């Protein structure tokens, strides 16, 4: 299996070495060939993709091409895309064709990018393994018996297997970073408010954030450039001076202070993951960085806090799926209440129902203060821990996931085990900080390990610089999953 | 036993913004069903609310008008429940931290002023409409109204009779129109009240159990519903039963209230702050900017009228019942003396109001303009017209026959104030009526009135009555 970076494709397009139609056809062929065993796409529409590619070629011929014009990409099926089936991985929306584009889709269309398809995901982004999808589990290209992580597992697997050069994802508790780590690619969750949530189907509104997934830090920067920007349609979108995220990539890391929280070496961290992460961090010393011990004393609370707040918001966000206006409606019912109950019972899967129940419970009269309010207070403490840590360092590093990719079905019967796989990523969402994962090694079974880099608010350019510099002196990101995939 | 009635009102005033509170769709009334419901209003997956600053500005205006505290920081919360005309499955409202806290409204019942305390006023969105009658075996949903901005104004339980409740509702209705935050159209549901009613033994300081009458959209229904509810509650208590907390509906056809739901089937709305909306911050600068745009309020305006023109409080209150009426008066009385102002007030509160009422028009539709009315008043004041003649001129103006001067000329309605001319007429009458003169001289005062009547008849009412009196007295005294 081979792949090309966005950067190299862009160079080829710019040189006229190939056309967007050719590239797009190439990826569509790969999807056609490999998707049956990976299941990373929910929908593809070759005619539509090729038409978009042809438009991109015409635009280039008119001399109006931008840096991303003609580059194909895959969108997580959480983003509404006009006239595309937009399912969010759920039976509930299995018949929903969006009449409008999400901000992210609109922006990338405007940049001239070509949509290859919509990728598989955990149902309503609730999951860490992609096994909760109504459309079936996604298989990890490094080992088809293993999960790709989640919830952006379809996007991660597609990029890792070379079915798309780059993809969009969303990250509520680690849903970009953890699958990126488990499939050996790069993924970045920007600062909350950086990328508009308009048209991105809500899971937990105060935590959801869209971001790019790619092979290299440089590709992440290129894609991020086109995703960010103030959007008046999202009240939590931030108005900021525009940044070129590729601008600092080549800067030296001399003097970079890397914070190492001792809490990141918790019980449950696989020794091989710990070793690979430690080795990568050690490489930064040669790049001129220094290390600082920092502490995130409330990190242990982040999973319980998250599993109060995210379900609370989700229980309300998912109320609109009632079978009245669109989406799944039960075929038979006796009255209104029965219609609601049957439609939702049939339309939602077990994990979504579990979280709606948890969320409804913690918001209920008599429990609200003990759960929701308390969790909000702890959320503030968790954020303050990061602020305090960043007083002493520029970035924080550690593992993205405590383990490498686990086997399909291994954790699906035990939600608590599954929830703990996000222990290193969730705090970043609670604090609203930017975080990313880049490949940094492999375990004994040839499964990729991810290094997590957490930055201060709005420090994405610096984080990308830090990631890019490691990729100049290592080749973890260049490895393709040839060994694991016996197709 | 004597009972005391306790009433608190929750009023929904639809704010007069062009677009909805969280979307760009139009709020215009009466459009084809669902033609004014955009992606946000129908709650498509992925859409987000964006707060309409016009709605916030109107809420601030209201807060300033009632002397409430405009919160520097208020929060939108989600009120969660399932209903087909509630597309998101939650209503965005303000719960723990509303935009306006406190304030008062002064009402007048009879001659008595009374201050009603307000608890709060908060912003929220309206739901859509369920159409149960239009379709057989099915319910239609119209989401045009979904997302319409509302200000819910909650009073303390300070009212003690249906009359006070109606006076409160009328005063509030007048105020929201005065400060231009709500069109007050009750037929279209732009202003509707829920009344919380309870009774307790006179002298008791403990509140009785209340029942809430929902959705009263006319002052008459408000009065009728409360009257019925009070009698019903007293009857229950006097028969030894207790009142259950409940929500009831008023049926205008029967004049009765009927139970909708009890406290037991009340929802747990699971309020929590809406993560899609930032807390609403109102800076001191923004507050000052809105304050600078505030019109003079009706109570201040009333005092100005009393001080400037010596109007009675009653007349001044009538003239400030609406901003349009007050502005009409201002135009009529522009640059006027106290005397002219008073006359303008009399004409507006008298003949003009009567004509408007009869024709079912409001002041903005008056067939007599303020300038025309002033022209009439000026002719009364310079004694061209007697009051009686002036009413004829007014009626002619109402029928569109022109200005006062045109009508006076056309009808030859000039009052005779020429004393030479009047003296000649009076001499003729005295000569023709020796019996009346004799009667008067023998002390019959009635005979004098009869002589005045003769003079007025001879002049076809155009004689200045005061002058007739004076001349007649002096001639008879000889």
> Where residue B455 sits, what CATH number does that domain have?
1.10.10.410
* CA–CA min distance A34, chain B (Å): 30
Q: Which of B91, B88, B117, B92 has the alpha carbon at shortest distance from B105?
A: B117
Which B residues 125-184 touch A at CB under 8 Å? 139, 141
- Out of A201, A236, A315, whose CB is closest to B46? A201
CA B90/CA B386 separation, integer angstroms: 66
CA B245/CA B230 separation, integer angstroms: 14
- Interchain contact B84–A (C-beta under 8 A): yes
CA A112/CA A59 separation, integer angstroms: 8
| Residue B333 and residue B214 share a domain | no
CB spacing of A364 vs B42 below 8 angstroms: no
Output phi, psi for A186, to 5 deg: -105, 145
Mean pLDDT estimate for chain B: 93
Q: Which pLDDT band, with edges at 50, 70 and 90, does B268 fall under?
A: very high
Dihedral (C-alpha) B439, B440, B444, B446: value to the nearest 10 degrees?
100
* H-helix or E-strand spanning residue B204: none
Last residue of a domain, one of B411, B428, B444: B411
Q: Tell whether the model's pLDDT for residue A485 goes beyond 50.
A: no
Q: Which of A103, A207, A191, A104 has the alpha carbon at shortest distance from A155?
A: A104
Last residue of a domain, one of B258, B274, B289: B289
Contact criterion met (CB below 8 Å) for B12 and B146:
no
Task: Say which of A20, A90, A107, A151 is annotated catalytic.
Answer: A151
CA A450/CA A149 separation, integer angstroms: 12
| Residue B340 and residue B285 share a domain | no
Residue of B nearest to A100 (CA): B39
| Residue B228 and residue B325 share a domain | no
pLDDT of residue B388: 83
- Average pLDDT over every residue of B134-146: 90
Residue of B nearest to A78 (CA): B46
Residues in chain B: 478
CB spacing of B272 vs A368 below 8 angstroms: yes
pLDDT tens for each residue of B338-352: 999 999 999 999 999
A-chain residues near B276 (CB < 8 A) = 202, 205, 235-236
pLDDT tens for each residue of A256-279: 999 999 999 877 899 999 999 999
* CA–CA min distance B276, chain A (Å): 6
pLDDT of residue A330: 97
- Out of A205, A325, A365, whose CB is closest to B268? A365
CA A189/CA A195 separation, integer angstroms: 9
Q: Which pLDDT band, with edges at 50, 70 and 90, does A224 fall under?
A: very high
- Average pLDDT over every residue of B200-209: 95
Q: Which pLDDT band, with edges at 50, 70 and 90, does B478 fall under?
A: low
pLDDT of residue A487: 41
Which A residues 57-96 touch B at CB under 8 Å? 79-80, 86, 88, 93, 96
B-chain residues near A364 (CB < 8 A) = 268, 270
* H-helix or E-strand spanning residue A408: none
3-state secondary structure of A292: strand
A90 is catalytic: no
- Interchain contact B33–A (C-beta under 8 A): no
- Average pLDDT over every residue of B321-325: 90
Query: Which contacts (CB < 8 Å, 24+ apart) does range B309-315 have?
Result: B309/B333, B309/B336, B309/B338, B309/B341, B309/B342, B309/B345, B310/B338, B310/B341, B310/B342, B311/B341, B311/B342, B311/B345, B315/B345, B315/B346, B315/B349
Establish if A484 belongs to a structural domain: no
Task: For residue A93, give its domain range.
Answer: 6-256
Residue B140: how many other CB atoms lie within 10 Å? 15
Residue of A nearest to B140 (CA): A324
3-state secondary structure of A370: helix
| Residue B438 and residue B335 share a domain | no
A49 is catalytic: no
Residue A412: both structure tokens together: 């699906």
Most confident of A303-317, B105-119, B406-420, B464-478: A303-317
CB spacing of A363 vs B275 below 8 angstroms: no
Q: Which of A358, A315, A337, A342 has the alpha carbon at shortest distance from B89?
A: A315
Contact criterion met (CB below 8 Å) for B234 and B181:
no
| Residue B247 and residue B114 share a domain | yes
* CA–CA min distance A43, chain B (Å): 18
A-chain residues near B88 (CB < 8 A) = 319-320
Cα-to-chain-centroid distance, residue A81: 18
CB spacing of A206 vs B45 below 8 angstroms: no
- Interchain contact B46–A (C-beta under 8 A): yes
Last residue of a domain, one of B357, B377, B411: B411
A-chain residues near B44 (CB < 8 A) = 80, 98-100, 326
pLDDT of residue A1: 42
pLDDT of residue A339: 96
pLDDT tens for each residue of A429-477: 999 999 999 999 999 999 999 999 999 999 999 999 999 999 999 999 9
Establish if A424 belongs to a structural domain: no
pLDDT tens for each residue of B77-132: 999 999 999 999 999 999 999 999 999 999 988 878 899 999 999 999 999 999 98
Strand partners, A448: A442
CA B127/CA B85 separation, integer angstroms: 6
Q: Which of B172, B152, B168 has the alpha carbon at shortest distance from B160?
A: B168
pLDDT of residue B475: 85
Residue B321: both structure tokens together: 């019942």
CA B170/CA A409 separation, integer angstroms: 67
Q: Tell whether the model's pLDDT for residue A484 goes beyond 60.
A: no
Establish if A302 belongs to a structural domain: no
pLDDT of residue B110: 81
Strands A435-442, A448-455: parallel, antiparallel or unpaired by DSSP? antiparallel
Task: Say which of A90, A128, A175, A315 is annotated catalytic.
Answer: A175
Which B residues 90-119 touch A at CB under 8 Å? 90
pLDDT tens for each residue of B220-263: 999 999 999 999 999 999 999 999 999 999 999 999 999 988 87
| Residue B247 and residue B110 share a domain | yes
Q: Which of B151, B152, B181, B147 has the alpha carbon at shortest distance from B50?
A: B147
| Residue B141 and residue B17 share a domain | yes
pLDDT tens for each residue of A367-413: 999 999 999 999 999 999 999 999 999 999 999 999 999 999 998 88
- Out of B46, B270, B271, whose CB is closest to A102? B46
CB spacing of B272 vs A312 below 8 angstroms: yes
A151 is catalytic: yes
- Interchain contact B270–A (C-beta under 8 A): yes
CB spacing of A100 vs B82 below 8 angstroms: no
DSSP character for B75? -
Establish if A435 belongs to a structural domain: no
CB spacing of B45 vs A336 below 8 angstroms: no
| Residue B436 and residue B406 share a domain | no
* CA–CA min distance A93, chain B (Å): 9
CATH at residue A162 = 3.90.1300.10
Mutating which of B270, B277, B279 best tests the A interface, going by the most A Cβ atoms within 10 A? B270
pLDDT tens for each residue of B183-195: 999 999 999 999 9
Q: Which of A22, A350, A35, A160 has the alpha carbon at shortest distance from A169?
A: A160
Q: C-alpha distances in angstroms, A244 versus A377, A412, A433? A: 35, 41, 19
- Out of B45, B51, B277, whose CB is closest to A96? B45
CA B279/CA A88 separation, integer angstroms: 29
Q: Which of A474, A13, A17 has the alpha carbon at shortest distance from A286?
A: A474
- Average pLDDT over every residue of A185-202: 98
Q: Which pLDDT band, with edges at 50, 70 and 90, does A486 fall under?
A: very low
Of all residues in chain B, the percent with pLDDT exceeding 90 is 73
Establish if A444 belongs to a structural domain: no
Q: Tell whether the model's pLDDT for residue A157 goes beyond 50.
A: yes
| Residue B324 and residue B236 share a domain | no
pLDDT of residue A2: 58
B448 vs B383: which has the higher pLDDT: B448
- Interchain contact A374–B (C-beta under 8 A): no
CB spacing of A322 vs B50 below 8 angstroms: no
Establish if A32 belongs to a structural domain: yes
| Residue B18 and residue B55 share a domain | yes
- Interchain contact A208–B (C-beta under 8 A): no
Q: Tell whether the model's pLDDT for residue A72 goes beyond 80.
A: yes
Contact criterion met (CB below 8 Å) for A17 and A4:
no
pLDDT tens for each residue of B1-27: 899 999 999 999 999 999 999 999 999
Q: Which of A109, A114, A122 has the alpha carbon at shortest distance from A73?
A: A114
Q: Which pLDDT band, with edges at 50, 70 and 90, does B471 fall under?
A: confident
B317 vs B239: which has the higher pLDDT: B239
Cα angle: B60, vertex B63, B67; to 5 degrees: 140
Establish if A139 belongs to a structural domain: yes
Establish if A14 belongs to a structural domain: yes
Q: Tell whether the model's pLDDT for residue A241 goes beyond 70.
A: yes
The residues, ordered by sequence, that sit 6+ positions from A436 with a Cβ below 8 Å of its Cβ are: A177, A180, A186, A187, A188, A189, A217, A220, A452, A453, A455, A463, A464, A467
- Interchain contact A199–B (C-beta under 8 A): yes
Task: Say which of A76, A91, A118, A189 is annotated catalytic.
Answer: A76
- Interchain contact A326–B (C-beta under 8 A): yes
- Interchain contact B39–A (C-beta under 8 A): yes
Starting from the edge strand earliest in sequence, which strands make up the sheet with A210-214, in order?
A41-44, A114-119, A72-76, A167-170, A210-214, A186-189, A435-442, A448-455, A395-399, A257-261, A290-294
| Residue B102 and residue B186 share a domain | yes
Residue of B nearest to A312 (CA): B272
**What is the number of domains present in chain A?**
1
pLDDT tens for each residue of B57-81: 999 999 999 999 999 999 999 999 9
Task: For residue B362, give its domain range.
Answer: 296-411
| Residue B94 and residue B182 share a domain | yes
**What is the number of domains present in chain B?**
3
- Interchain contact B44–A (C-beta under 8 A): yes
Q: Which pLDDT band, with edges at 50, 70 and 90, does A483 fall under?
A: very low
What is the reported pTM?
Answer: 0.90
């Amino acid at each position: 299996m081979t792949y090309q970076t966005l950067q190299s494709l862009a160079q080829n397009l710019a040189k006229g070495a190939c056309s967007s139609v050719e590239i797009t056809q190439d990826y569509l062929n790969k999807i056609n060939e490999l998707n049956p065993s990976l299941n990373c796409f929910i929908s593809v529409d070759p005619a539509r993709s090729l038409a978009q590619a042809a438009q991109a070629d015409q635009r280039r011929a008119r001399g109006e091409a931008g840096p991303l014009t003609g580059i194909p990409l895959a969108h997580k099926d959480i983003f509404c895309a006009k006239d595309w089936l937009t399912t969010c991985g759920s039976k509930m929306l299995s018949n929903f064709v969006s009449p409008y584009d999400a901000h992210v889709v609109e922006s990338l269309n405007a940049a001239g990018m070509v949509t290859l398809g919509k990728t598989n995901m955990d149902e309503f982004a609730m999951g860490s393994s992609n096994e909760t999808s109504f459309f079936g589990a996604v298989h990890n290209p490094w080992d088809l018996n293993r999960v790709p992580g989640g919830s952006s597992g379809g996007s991660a697997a597609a990029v890792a297997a070379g079915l798309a050069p780059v993809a969009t994802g969303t990250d509520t508790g680690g849903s970009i970073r953890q699958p990126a780590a488990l499939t050996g690619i790069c993924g970045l969750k920007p600062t909350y408010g950086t990328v508009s949530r308009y048209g991105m189907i809500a899971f937990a509104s105060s935590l959801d954030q869209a971001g790019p997934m790619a092979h290299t830090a440089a590709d992440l920067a290129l894609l991020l450039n086109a995703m960010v920007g103030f959007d008046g349609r999202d009240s939590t979108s931030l108005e900021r001076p525009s940044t070129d995220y590729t601008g600092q990539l080549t800067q030296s890391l001399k003097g970079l202070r890397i914070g190492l929280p001792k809490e990141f070496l918790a019980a449950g961290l696989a020794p091989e993951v710990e070793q690979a992460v430690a080795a990568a961090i050690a490489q930064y010393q040669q790049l001129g960085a220094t290390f600082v011990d920092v502490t995130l004393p409330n990190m242990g609370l982040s999973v319980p806090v998250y599993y109060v707040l995210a379900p609370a918001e989700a229980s309300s966000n998912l109320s609109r799926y009632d079978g009245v206006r669109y989406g799944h409606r039960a075929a038979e019912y006796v009255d209104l209440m029965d219609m609601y109950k049957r439609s939702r019972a049939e339309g939602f899967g077990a994990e979504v129902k579990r979280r709606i129940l948890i969320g409804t419970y913690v918001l209920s009269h008599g429990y609200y203060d003990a759960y929701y309010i308390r969790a909000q207070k702890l959320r503030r403490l968790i954020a303050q821990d990061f602020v305090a840590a960043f007083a002493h360092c520029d970035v924080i590093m550690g593992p993205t996931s405590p383990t490498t990719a686990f086997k399909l079905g291994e954790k699906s019967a035990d939600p608590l085990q599954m929830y703990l796989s996000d222990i290193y990523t969730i705090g970043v969402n609670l604090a609203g900080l930017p975080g990313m994962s880049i490949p940094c090694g492999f375990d004994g079974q040839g499964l990729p390990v991810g290094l997590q880099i957490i930055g201060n608010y709005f420090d994405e350019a610096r984080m990308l610089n830090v990631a890019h510099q490691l990729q100049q002196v290592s080749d973890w990101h260049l490895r393709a999953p040839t060994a694991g995939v016996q197709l | 036993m004597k009972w005391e009635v306790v009433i608190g009102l929750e009023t929904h005033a639809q704010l007069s913004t062009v677009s909805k509170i969280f979307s760009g769709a139009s709020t215009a009334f009466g459009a084809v069903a669902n033609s004014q419901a955009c992606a946000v209003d129908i709650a498509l997956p992925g859409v987000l609310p964006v707060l309409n600053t016009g709605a916030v500005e109107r809420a601030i205006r209201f807060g300033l008008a009632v002397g409430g505290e405009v919160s520097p920081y208020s929060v939108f919360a989600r009120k969660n429940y399932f209903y087909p005309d509630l597309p998101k499955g939650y209503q965005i409202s303000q719960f723990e931290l509303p935009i306006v806290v406190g304030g008062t409204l002064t009402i007048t019942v009879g001659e008595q002023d009374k201050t009603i305390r307000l608890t709060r006023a908060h912003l929220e969105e309206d739901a859509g409409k369920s159409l149960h009658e239009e379709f057989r075996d099915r319910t239609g949903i119209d989401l045009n109204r979904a997302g319409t901005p509302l200000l819910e104004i909650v009073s303390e339980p300070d009212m003690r009779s249906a009359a006070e409740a109606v006076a409160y509702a009328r005063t509030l209705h007048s105020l929201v129109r005065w400060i231009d935050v709500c069109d007050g159209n009750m037929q279209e549901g732009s202003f509707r009240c829920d009344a919380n009613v309870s009774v307790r033994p006179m002298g008791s300081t403990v509140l009785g159990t209340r029942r809430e009458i929902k959705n009263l959209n006319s002052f008459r229904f408000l009065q009728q519903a409360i009257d019925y509810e009070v009698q019903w509650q007293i009857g229950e208590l006097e028969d030894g039963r207790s009142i259950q907390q409940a929500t009831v509906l008023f049926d205008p056809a029967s004049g009765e209230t009927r139970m909708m739901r009890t406290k037991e089937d009340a929802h747990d709305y699971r309020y929590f702050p809406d993560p899609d909306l930032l807390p609403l911050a109102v800076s001191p600068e923004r507050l000052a900017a809105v304050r600078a745009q505030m019109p003079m309020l009706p109570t201040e305006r009333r005092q100005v009228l009393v001080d400037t023109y010596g109007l009675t409080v009653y007349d001044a209150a009538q003239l400030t019942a609406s901003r349009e009426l007050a502005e009409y008066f201002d135009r009529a009385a522009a640059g006027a003396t106290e005397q002219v102002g008073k006359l303008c007030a009399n004409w507006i509160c008298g003949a003009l109001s009567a004509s408007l009422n009869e024709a079912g028009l409001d002041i903005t539709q008056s067939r007599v303009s303020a300038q025309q009315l002033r022209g009439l008043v000026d002719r009364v004041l310079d004694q061209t017209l007697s009051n009686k003649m002036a009413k004829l001129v007014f009626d002619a103006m109402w029928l569109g026959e022109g200005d006062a001067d045109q009508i006076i000329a056309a009808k030859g309605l000039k009052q005779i104030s020429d004393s030479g001319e009047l003296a000649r007429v009076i001499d003729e009458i005295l000569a023709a009526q020796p019996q009346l003169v004799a009667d008067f001289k023998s002390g019959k005062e009635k005979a004098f009135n009869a002589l005045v009547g003769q003079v007025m008849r001879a002049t076809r009412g155009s004689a200045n009555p005061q002058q007739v009196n004076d001349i007649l007295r002096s001639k008879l005294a000889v």
